[in-house]
Structure 1
């Protein structure tokens, strides 16, 4: 019976989706070419500079200093974030820690506070803070949730039977964790660490405020002060090479191992570890983490709001910044999600080598720091299509390149849940391929599209470098207004903008936390 069934499934002809893939593939290729524009720009700039000049600009003392700062920043920050996120995930998911659900949310909530607002809060609390130590400390509290989210989700999906088997063979609890649990967390650890590393390479506001030089701060300083294109281009080249090194390291550490559970049945519920007398002592870890990642920003912002009084709430200026931020977030989020539809559909309905290659181009392009994307678009528009320089179209294109994977991940999950037979039925009723796709898959995947818009908008709201360099004249988003005031040491005047960024980011952050909980049906 089993062999007959297997034969039926293996020999049954595979129906192809009627929705035409030619125009979908064409659009996906065009978007991929636009997404790869920053990489092409870096290669062009290097070739145009000339080998001799490029060597002189790359192999100089300043680049060595920036590279040292960057390497040390990553070497210190990523392991600390990993240890902190791993400990918090274990406490909130695997133990009887008091208020585990609440502390789980507290571990994700720091994502609602932009990194440069974290820096603003710490500088407001300790004005003399600066340098590598400050950069590591603030980066840890700002970015550790990027590791906590995937690790906690992975903990909920692990089958505890493997741990029981290891314990039955005589392994101590710590040995079971090290030899059985940690290997199964490799994908989550590598993915989260890569995300933090890329954020550290791209971040500007956090490090500029504490006077810690990185490639991104140096590029923007070069661009804004002297507009020395050649020097900025070569710094951008080294920055892109650093991104590629991180991608290569992550791919090597991730490996090709299988992590799926094989065999019939389902994983049983995990056994919660009893902390006993250590319960309240270990509770100090999530309390201290929340105090540093949320308490310090809350206290600093409240302090400056009280010091500034009602006069800092200039309704016309604050209202204009809020309105422009919401509009540009909505436009950018919609454009990013729309651009992700073709490749999301192809990756699910037509998973070929071409579609996988295009999808890889999207992810590769999104790893480019915002300053490199902005430099590429500034150069292209100034040299070739000047009317598009500092227009809404240019900055929206930058957002599409930078945040495309956020929308792509959400869309893929939703499209995969829509039966392809619905497209067949719509086509059999005489609808065109595009109309069949629109009336079935696109509409039923609307929740995933909405999540993609929300996640993209969250990134756009907190984006600073590309917005500063590409925004049309007269544009003043919350992030731009905040940065302009803090640059003038007007911390009280910047407080309302910080509050609004946090308030409008919090619901989107809660959505991330909620979706992560739904993975295990909790």
Structure 2
């Protein structure tokens, strides 16, 4: 497929520029880390505190990744490949955790069960918040899989579980790896949940160092270690993607017959119900309780509405900007195997593993030094969102473009259309569901973003996330409830769009194989 992008210097240049922009935080971290000299940086890097934070963060990330992998794959298989009663309802309902920010779940759990503070509480909250990131793409992969070999396996006497483990999982490995990568990057960059659960991970250590303001070099060193962790995770995901089989079976793709659970029906129902209760019911019921209590206070509903509108505005602007900037990177990465294309895609994932406060300070640094005219404006805040969440759109768009039939592009070229015209009229329209999924995911994530928004929002402007954080920090849980519910409502629409887009991608994959 590399022939499609020979002689495409404009696309390569555009992708490279976007990728370099995504690496902006690294410039800031490098300047801060070594401003005191190599000796000081080495001392801070190899001190016991850095090692402790690294081990604690690695332990939390590993626990969340394993939990999300098991829960996400199992839930996806149950709701797409079995005859589970109410599976359509569960397929939609299990996406709801994406609409509940991790710090909202965290403050409900810690308020109701204070003994959860620490590693277990942080792992529980983050696992319940992130497992849909694995479930959604895996469900789409199950829906698009050729059921031929699974059917052959079962006719040879293998049970449904053994067939799923030995045959079907091979097809969904790339999707599962991509979901685990996003969940892991979210975990190492999360601040709200670990802060509420009082678990001393990298993000809390960085925040404490920055807040102290005495020596930001130490915080920058911790940020560089997080960059290294994000790089290792991303390279591991890419290796898994390359080593996996893209499609199993050579028969004509068709919807698979659902597996009969029989005596496993009740255990499966209990499993998905328990997952739904832990990830959704507990936070929602806790918020209802706090909302009822909030009626004892004087709630400024005008402020709630204004804050909601501000959240919608910033989320929409950021989603639009990220989707536009992600297009050249995704197109180049999907249609080229050159080192430049791989490096451009990889570069976009680096900042996603950093806490928002680090990216926010990097953008502030650039704003003061290079772009003072937009300092403390919405433009600078949107730029921070672009750096933070570019990979969410790049990954989804690249997968959609990669799945589009190359033969249609070849036909367009033989009819005299230029490569650019072919991209605009053929490739991108086919990839619209994936592009929409990326935009919805960015909108959803921006609405919930906290640290960078706290640092960069224009004066006099608040979002639902910042208002929620401000009230919970002074233990005004009742006053925080209206903002939390408004944030969940705002997040519900893009969550539904994301679910529909990913499911349609699975259906399109079946149709594509029939071309």
Shorter-chain TM-score tier: 0.7 to 0.9
- Provide the C-alpha distance between the structure 2 equivalents of 1:350 and 1:179, rounded to a whole number of angstroms: 32
Q: Does the C-alpha gap of structure 1 residues 312 and 60 become closer, same or farther in structure 2, counting only changes over 3 Å?
A: farther
- Provide the C-alpha distance between the structure 1 equivalents of 2:311 and 2:256, rounded to a whole number of angstroms: 44
- Provide the C-alpha distance between the structure 1 equivalents of 2:81 and 2:17, rounded to a whole number of angstroms: 46
The alpha carbon displacement at 1:350 in A equals: 7.3
TM-score by length of 1: 0.86
The alpha carbon displacement at 1:290 in A equals: 1.0
Quote the residue 2:367 is aligned against: 381
- Provide the C-alpha distance between the structure 1 equivalents of 2:358 and 2:32, rounded to a whole number of angstroms: 12
The 3-state SS of whatever aligns with 2:295 is helix
Quote the residue 2:211 is aligned against: 224
The alpha carbon displacement at 1:483 in A equals: 0.3
- Provide the C-alpha distance between the structure 1 equivalents of 2:200 and 2:325, rounded to a whole number of angstroms: 35
Quote the residue 1:64 is aligned against: 51
Quote the residue 1:81 is aligned against: 68
Instruction: Give the RMSD, CA atoms, in angstroms.
Output: 3.3
Q: Does the C-alpha gap of structure 1 residues 423 and 306 become closer, same or farther in structure 2, counting only changes over 3 Å?
A: farther
1:135 aligns with 2:122: yes
Cα shift readout 1:66-122 (whole Å, capped 9, x = no counterpart): 122212212322222222222222221222211011111121111111111110121
Q: Does the C-alpha gap of structure 1 residues 396 and 179 become closer, same or farther in structure 2, counting only changes over 3 Å?
A: same
The 3-state SS of whatever aligns with 1:144 is helix
Query: 1:421-460 residue pairs with structure 2 within 5 A?
Result: 451-460=437-446
- Provide the C-alpha distance between the structure 2 equivalents of 1:136 and 1:80, rounded to a whole number of angstroms: 9
The alpha carbon displacement at 1:135 in A equals: 0.9
The 3-state SS of whatever aligns with 2:187 is helix
Quote the residue 1:290 is aligned against: 276
The alpha carbon displacement at 1:367 in A equals: 4.0
Query: How many residues are matched?
Result: 503
Q: Does the C-alpha gap of structure 1 residues 182 and 408 become closer, same or farther in structure 2, counting only changes over 3 Å?
A: closer
Quote the residue 2:224 is aligned against: 237
- Structure 2 residue corresponding to 1:331, chosen from 317, 326, 333: 317
Quote the residue 1:118 is aligned against: 105
**Gaps (5+ residues) in structure 2?**
509-515
Q: Does the C-alpha gap of structure 1 residues 239 and 361 become closer, same or farther in structure 2, counting only changes over 3 Å?
A: closer
Q: Once structures 1 and 2 are overlaid, which stretch shifts more, 199-208 or 440-449?
A: 440-449
The alpha carbon displacement at 1:382 in A equals: 3.9
- Provide the C-alpha distance between the structure 2 equivalents of 1:258 and 1:252, rounded to a whole number of angstroms: 12
- Provide the C-alpha distance between the structure 2 equivalents of 1:244 and 1:109, rounded to a whole number of angstroms: 29
The 3-state SS of whatever aligns with 1:97 is coil
Quote the residue 1:55 is aligned against: 42
Cα shift readout 1:228-266 (whole Å, capped 9, x = no counterpart): 211111111111122122223334444524322464x41
Q: Once structures 1 and 2 are overlaid, which stretch shifts more, 294-303 or 161-170?
A: 161-170
1:203 aligns with 2:190: yes
Structure possessing the higher radius of gyration over alpha carbons: 1
Q: Once structures 1 and 2 are overlaid, which stretch shifts more, 386-395 or 319-328?
A: 386-395
- Provide the C-alpha distance between the structure 2 equivalents of 1:69 and 1:62, rounded to a whole number of angstroms: 11
**Gaps (5+ residues) in structure 1?**
1-9
Query: 1:103-502 residue pairs with structure 2 within 5 A?
Result: 103-169=90-156, 171=158, 173-261=160-248, 263=250, 265-309=251-295, 311-346=297-332, 354-409=340-395, 411=397, 413=400, 451-502=437-488
Q: Does the C-alpha gap of structure 1 residues 24 and 167 become closer, same or farther in structure 2, counting only changes over 3 Å?
A: closer
- Provide the C-alpha distance between the structure 2 equivalents of 1:443 and 1:270, rounded to a whole number of angstroms: 28
The 3-state SS of whatever aligns with 1:473 is coil
